[in-house]
């Protein structure tokens, strides 16, 4: 095929179809600016979330939760994957049309490589493009890390989360290497689909960054669902066989093996900066490969910004979206907004029931010098939360970390039905200085999960100083 050369100039060049970059591109395009967006894969229009992240995985959570014991596992799983892939295809097409349909925005499919601080070269099929721009956004996301464990990368049975959600054959035996968010979420999904699931975690506990009690309760829920969790396990080798793979691991100084049909590598994701030619652009990276940025997301080149996972830090779509607000304030506003403005950013692990957290853990609060009181209660004992019984999900607990002197909510852990929604209310309260007593004494709709706050925040299980009697005597049954 003959190759042609073309040159484009834009006001704004966005490298990568991530949430933050596309939000900026849409705004600038609507203002009549010339925008070029380069995405290396036609399967990633819209970025990680709608294609291989939030949308498909949470859709699988939904489908797995609907399966009854009498439903054939393989048939149910295959149909679920097909429906989820149809959904992501719909989202992908919509994202492309929404962007490319803007008159002044051009979407180019191909891999961009910097040739100088204002220019990238793109091999777009049979066309070589040279694209220059006054302002450039890097929004290439992150990619899965597969450890250097002998045989793991080479095994034909090893998959990343991206590959697993596209596989229509349900693994009878699923081994997951990594007990963090991705590993635990997939363990919960595939166990409910009917797989036998084993999670290997190298440390002494899963969810190492979470509250100690939350990790323990989450583990009890997972093991109660039939998931095997092997802690302190170091996977040393993977050997392929005729029908599956053998996972070799060490625990407590002893060598063990486990047979698996599929091995999910769930040991984290790293910023996708390889091959971008950042040196040619004069853009510095951190020791972990992330694009180095300041509080306003400017790189070492003031006209180049980095948004989302590629800049390091927590990998959440909603943070990438907020990154777009920071960048737009630099391009169109007063230039005051920065990432340091963010407080009380929530996060959710979509196991069943979901685990949602915000702010400091009890351990972190004390380490920071706070005197705290802890309000906590198991969901099954929260009289004011009949919704948990209505939907037949009473597992989990709620916990609040409260500053003794100010009554400020320092952090919260919600492991319960609807936690992914409840946590937003808590985060909003924290951002606006709503005291624990106000959240406790508020009037909530009934029967909802939110009204659990009335009771939980009045249930003090420990405090760093004597506690005066609460004005709230608790809640009575409805």
Q: Are 46 and 168 in contact (CB under 8 A)?
A: no
Q: How many CB atoms lie within 10 A of CB 370?
A: 20
Tokens of 366: 């004390």
Long-range contacts of the stretch 212-217 (C-beta < 8 A, 24+) = 212/361, 212/362, 212/363, 213/362, 213/376, 213/397, 213/399, 213/413, 214/355, 214/357, 214/397, 214/399, 214/413, 214/415, 217/396, 217/397, 217/415
309 vs 57, 217, 306, 321, CA distance in Å? 18, 29, 9, 11
Q: Are 183 and 334 in contact (CB under 8 A)?
A: no
Determine whether 288 is an active site residue.
no
Rounded to an integer, what distance in angstroms lies between the CA atom of residue 85 and that of residue 469?
55
Contacts of 28 (CB under 8 A, 6+ apart): 11, 12, 35, 331
Rounded to an integer, what distance in angstroms lies between the CA atom of residue 136 and that of residue 138?
7
**431 three-state secondary structure:** helix
Contacts of 165 (CB under 8 A, 6+ apart): 52, 56, 57, 60, 81, 84
Catalytic residues: 446
């Amino acid at each position: 095929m003959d190759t042609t050369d073309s040159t484009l100039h834009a006001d704004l060049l966005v490298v990568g179809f991530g949430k933050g970059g596309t939000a900026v591109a849409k705004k600038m395009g609507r203002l009549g600016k010339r925008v070029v967006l380069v995405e290396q894969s036609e399967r990633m229009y819209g970025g990680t979330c709608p294609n291989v992240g939030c949308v498909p995985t949470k859709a699988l959570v939904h489908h797995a939760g609907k399966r009854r014991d009498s439903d054939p596992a393989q048939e149910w799983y295959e149909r679920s994957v097909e429906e989820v892939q149809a959904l992501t295809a719909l989202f992908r097409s919509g994202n492309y049309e929404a962007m490319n349909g803007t008159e002044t925005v051009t979407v180019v499919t191909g891999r961009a490589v910097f040739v100088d601080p204002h220019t990238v070269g793109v091999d777009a099929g049979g066309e070589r493009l040279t694209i220059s721009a006054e302002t450039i956004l890097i929004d290439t996301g992150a990619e899965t890390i597969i450890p250097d464990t002998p045989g793991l990368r080479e095994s034909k049975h090893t998959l990343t989360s991206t590959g697993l959600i596209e596989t229509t054959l349900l693994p009878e035996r699923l081994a997951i290497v990594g007990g963090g968010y991705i590993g635990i979420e997939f363990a919960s999904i595939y166990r409910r689909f009917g797989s036998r699931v084993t999670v290997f975690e190298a440390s002494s506990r899963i969810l190492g960054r979470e509250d100690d009690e939350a990790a323990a309760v989450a583990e009890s829920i997972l093991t109660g669902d039939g998931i095997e969790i092997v802690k302190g396990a170091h996977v040393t080798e993977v050997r392929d066989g005729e029908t599956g793979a053998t996972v070799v691991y060490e625990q407590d100084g002893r060598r063990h093996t486990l047979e698996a049909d599929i091995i999910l590598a769930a040991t984290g994701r790293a910023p996708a900066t390889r091959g971008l030619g950042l040196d040619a652009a004069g853009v510095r990276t951190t020791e972990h490969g992330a694009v180095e940025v300041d509080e306003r997301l400017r790189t070492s080149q003031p006209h180049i910004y980095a948004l989302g996972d590629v800049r390091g830090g927590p990998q959440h779509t909603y943070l990438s979206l907020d990154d777009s607000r920071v960048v737009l304030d630099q391009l169109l506003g007063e230039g005051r907004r920065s990432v340091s403005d963010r407080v009380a950013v929530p996060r959710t692990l979509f196991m069943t029931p979901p685990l949602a957290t915000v702010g400091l853990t009890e351990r972190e609060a004390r380490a920071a010098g706070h005197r705290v009181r802890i309000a906590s209660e198991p969901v099954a004992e929260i009289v004011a939360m009949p919704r948990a019984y209505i939907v037949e999900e009473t597992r989990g607990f709620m916990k609040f970390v409260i500053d003794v002197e100010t009554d400020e909510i320092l952090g919260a852990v919600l492991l319960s039905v609807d936690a992914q929604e409840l946590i937003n209310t808590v985060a909003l309260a924290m951002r606006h200085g709503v005291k624990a007593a106000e959240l406790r004494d508020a009037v909530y709709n009934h029967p909802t999960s939110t009204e659990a706050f009335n009771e939980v925040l009045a249930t003090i299980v420990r405090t760093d100083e004597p506690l005066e009697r609460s004005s709230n005597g608790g809640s009575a049954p409805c």
